[in-house]
Amino acid sequence: MSTEGKKVVGHYIGGQSVMGISGREGGVYNPATNELIRNVALADAAEVDKAVSNAAEAFHDWAEMPSARRVQVLYRYRELLIQNIDEMARLLSSEHGKTVDDAKGSITRGLEVVEFACGIPQLLKGEFSESVASGVDSWSMRQPLGVVAGITPFNFPAMVPMWMFPVAIACGNTFVLKPSERNPSCAAFMANLLTEAGLPDGVLNVVNGDKEAVDSLLSHPSVQAVSFVGSTAVGEYVYQTGCAHGKRVQALCGAKNHMVVMPDADMGQVVDAVMGAAYGSAGERCMAISVVVAVGEDTADRMMEQLVPRIETLKVGAYDQAGVEMGPVITPDARDRIKNYIDRGVKEGADLVVDGRNISIPGYESGCFVGATVFDRVKPEMAIYRDEIFGPVLSVVRAESYEAALKLVNDHEYGNGTAIFTRDGDAARDFGHRAQIGMVGVNVPIPVPLAFHSFGGWKRSLFGDHFMHGPEGVRFYTRMKTLTSRWPSGIKEGAVFNFKAGGEH
């Protein structure tokens, strides 16, 4: 397809949009039609260096600005986000494919982190100890790192960047964002809003690109820390490479989230929860429920009896079609990979109860659609159970007991999120205590913490020591300094203290 006349999404460096100079571009497609809608400049090492250099130049003045003044920019940015949320959601949906309501919901979750970051001055307070020794005082403070970078995924092109840069810049750092090249427009949109809100030039820079841009950020000597969200394979590479270059790294990675359904669970609540958690955003999210573990045959039978009709009537289509509940996946490659997993599940002996492989949307026959799919009687050795499919495919496993269900949760290599549905307080408390998972829900299918708590998984779902946003985010984007001082105590009677006029001191 010809790319002539297509708008090119450039970079955002030093407070303004700049066109790429590398000579390389990528295509940005509407997943519902698979049509090219714009191009994106792909940065080389020189363009990454320009962005980092701008951030480094802006760092001193920004870090020295009182934190109360820094957050005033974020207050204004919050208002601009609210005013422009409809436009931003439609832009997001056109490049990602998710419904507009889903897009708005994700922007709102990002907005919550902006609101949290507006209260950063409270969290930057240090501790003070008087007279730790004779005439000696000791106190601590948290100071920004310098230039920090964020590498973000395609599935939440607004929310995940807002999990990073508001906290980072509120703490006094400057930031270089490398969004997914599949849907880059939200990053440019947010950068423009921040400039309109009064953010000084260079405090937030955006470079679009592929592995070349990522490697340049990971190896750049001026980048002090890197935040990443994406697949486990890439996240492990980012973590190892960044650490090898002396950087602080947090890499939030893949997942295979289990929802345990106990015999006493409210089955109507369970089915509602599964529909949203398994098929929302076409399953392309690291907190999606992709495995339901039903405890007991009767529990599984009752659940499937109510769940299957709901799945069969789920309306799939383009984001701009009325009444659509689930959109396409991101690319033809993703569509084909998901279908191959369904093929493999059938081959390995799982019961394919609802098959989403042959879905066709009138008028959108070239789109990247996969229908909602559910397998029953899935076994732990099957690929559809082991692997993160990242699509609208649900596996139902039948466990003989609560202990067998808990063992499935704990034995899996991923440890991002999990949930239990039950009316039994003992079971709920035991599950919360013993589940080897970073985020646990009780009758809550997607237990993403609110912004004033922190988000992160265990095991191969996280590389690094810090969760994202909340108090952990503040710790990640700052370093502790402790001061110990002794002053000569030579005060004599009649000593004169000189202070400047007007109360300055």
Which one is catalytic: 118, 171, 186, 286? 286
482 DSSP assignment? E
What is the spatial order of strands in the sheet that 257-261 belongs to? 351-354, 373-376, 393-399, 289-295, 257-261, 417-421, 439-442
The DSSP H or E segment spanning 354 is strand 351-354
- Residues 56, 150: contact at Cβ < 8 Å? no
- CA–chain centroid gap for 380, Å, is 27
Active site residue 286: yes
Determine contact, residues 107/89, Cβ cutoff 8 Å: yes
Q: What is the 3-class SS of 3-72, one letter each residue?
A: CCCCCEECEEECCEEECCCCCCEEEEEECCCCEEEEEEECCCHHHHHHHHHHHHHHHHHHHHCCHHHHHH
Rounded CA gap, 351 and 309, in Å? 16
- CA-nearest of 347, 33, 362 to 339 is 347
Nearest partner of 238 among 259, 222, 255, 216, judged by Cα: 216
Residue 269, token pair as written in the block: 């609540």
User: What b/e readout covers 54-72, taking b as 16+ CB neighbours within 10 angstroms?
Assistant: bbbebbeebbeeebeebbe
Name the nearest CA neighbour of 431 among 420, 443, 444, 446. 420
Distance from C-alpha of 194 to C-alpha of 177, rounded to nearest angstrom: 13
What residues form DSSP beta bridges with 128? Answer: 139
> What are the catalytic residues?
286
